[in-house]
Structure 1
Amino acid sequence: MDEIMNCMHCGFCLPSCPTYRQTGLEAYSPRGRIALMKGIAKEQLALDEEFEKNMYACLGCRSCETACPAGVPYGSLLETAREVIEENKKAKQKSSWIRRLIFKQLFSHPRRMDALGMALWAVQATGLQTLANKWGLIHVLPREMAEMQAAVDQVASPAKRRKRKKVMPAEGEKALTVGLFTGCMMDVMFYETNQATAQLLTKVGCEVVFIENQTCCGALHAHAGEKQDAIELAKRNIAAFEEINVDFIVNNAGGCGAALKEYHHWFLDEPEWLERAKKFVSKTRDVNELLFELPPLSFSKTIHARVTYQDSCHLAHGQGIRNQPRKLIQSIPGVEYIEMQSADSCCGSAGIYNITNFDLSMQILDDKMKQVKDTKAQMIVTSNPGCLLQMKKGIIRAGLQDQMEALHLMDLLQRAL
């Protein structure tokens, strides 16, 4: 309630909010949602489907936190509101099977995520995905999934995955030992990007360790109101990284990194875990941070391209990391860097928002692609897997496949080595 009352209803958040800009609805603004939370907390409003609709229509991009003069932690309030919604629903009825499948049976189990990756590779490698698209069979899937699958690139084969070494030694003199947080979807769909990240780190004197027993960061669970599951995942990650003494825990996904850096806020009622979480957080770095701090990369190739950058919301608004990715892009020989207008406005991905709120997500994406087009860039670069998939989808929707590609920043840096 203290945090809710800190909101002055000044409206500075309104222009920064993607859903408010799209709809003009006060209930779809941070200020409006906080007013609804206050009504629920004071038992002046019913905890009904309308409240749930308004809370889940939010992207959780946290751009309002950047705009807020009072420093209201909107992201935390939103997670709590959704937790209250889910607890209330569970008290009345059992969760849907799809929700249980996603949050309890899939993302929480790394081996099952690996199996999903192998299944996806098999579908692509055998040509089933191509045939399904050609013959229209892909439309047996829900429309949202049928649309988004077109943006999924070829995933790494099981043979490639088996070649991963548990430890990648530093090139030259070792300066640091780092543990790479591989993530769940990141390692399934963007395995090569994780490998590129590790290779880049070895180039600047880091020994890279792939920690066993790590799991999903818990961000998706926290954002979906499954806070207890998120806490259990956090405990598993903290314990896994405690087994290996590393200088830093490095990640390359803005959304994951924001969650990892906020673990200590999840254990305010568990003093023992709180201290362990604080140590974990103190070591956590986004790869852009660390590469920016270490000696510069030595590039051997020139990339002749006009490049723009799309901020990951949770990297920019959640972690305050804006300058480092841009400087890394500009350090590549031959690159002409073009700053995009409103580069830190959400692309509409927001975890699984482009599945759960497809139409609004695509409206936001189409507006973003107008800004992308204005740059006349040949490459659009980002630092988060969800954003990367969304920008790939945006390029398809805009018909720019022959003019532009979307890349993770680590993949672009790797190209120049």
Structure 2
Amino acid sequence: MKKERILIVGVELSTDTINIDNSMDELEELVNAAMGKVIERIVQRRDSIDPAYFIGRGKAKEIKNFCEELDIDTVVFNDELSGAQLRNLEKIIDIKIIDRTNLILDIFANRASSKEGKLQVKLAQLKYRLPRLVGFRDYLSREGGGIGTRGPGEQKLETDRRHILREITNIEKALKEAEKTRDMKRKKRKDSNLPIVALVGYTNAGKSTLLNKIINMNEEQNESKQVFVYDMLFATLDTSLRRGKLPNGQVFLITDTVGFVSKLPTHLIEAFKGTLEEVRFADLIIHVVDGSNEDLDIQIQTTMEILKELKVLDKPIITVFNKMDKVNKDNLLFDSKYIDDKIFISSRNGTNLEQLLQLIQDKLPIKYKDVVLRIPYNNQHLVNYFLENYNIDNIEYKEEGTEIKLNINLTDYVNYKEYIIEI
């Protein structure tokens, strides 16, 4: 399939703290993830944003000429445009105009696979597009579709606002039902007393690769339990939950979450809050950082700001610098104010993964005791529970029942204290 030819546009303000070249590089990666091809980039340096055109009117005319010369299909702006700015730019440039937010929403619409994920993306798209219908109407009426047009579809966006608002209400109701189901599953996980570890971090930092490596260290897992991995922004969207094992044999649950990116649209953070809330119920957070990325400091800051918004900074956090097979850790530059416990690994090569599991075990708020349990033969389902969730140091079948020696967490220690015969 022929890729859309894309011109990307950014504005560098005198007050900006983010390097514009790196931000534009990320925008180009987003275009690649949306299956487009960046032909050229334009950056304008300004003291402030033009309220009518975002860039200057003269620069908009210059971009129109560029588009004609380079046979450009779509212009993508590196910031969110208002409905008026979108409409005014379309009038001058006269081709499809989308912004960074719409581009990310488009990628999410293409990648979401679960029913809930699709609903979340559709909700975010509708809320984003509702105040911009006038600006969108022009290019959505043209044939071809392409980047920025996935999701609700042209007919939906051409209908009146009341219809769209009604659809938003229906989606929100459906998501509330999905939330009830998620709450029930979460309660079952909580009742299992298994510690929960959440992977968070920038998109493409290697979270899914790390998740696969950890579950592969548990011999009971197989390839069907692995999650999709691809070297691309937002390769995976839906939350994955798998089982891993700590060095002491304790089984734990590890969950992957949607990756973050700078200027992550507010609509998406809001829409995916249900999914991101999994982080709130975790006992420990693993913040995965791409150690080979030049902007790792910005990525760390972006992730920590989102974690702050989710109100989870009080949880124990391990910062994992991944992809260390590509870089010398002595050359890493980052602001340590966000970092307490850290470790340097390579998920791809398996470097320091056992040390990471030990660190997870040490930092989990759930503590353990060495005990011997005697389970009566009429309660053998408890034996199965301990065999499934712990490394058993020793098991003997005595006249009074099955005796198991293991390292037990304090919750189970309290729940099954009556069976403890030795500490």
TM-score over 0.5 (shorter chain): no
Larger RCO, structures 1/2 (Cα 8 Å, 6+ apart):
1
TM-score under structure 1 length normalisation: 0.31
Give the structure with the higher percent helix. Answer: 1
- Structure number with bigger Rg: 2
TM-score under structure 2 length normalisation: 0.31
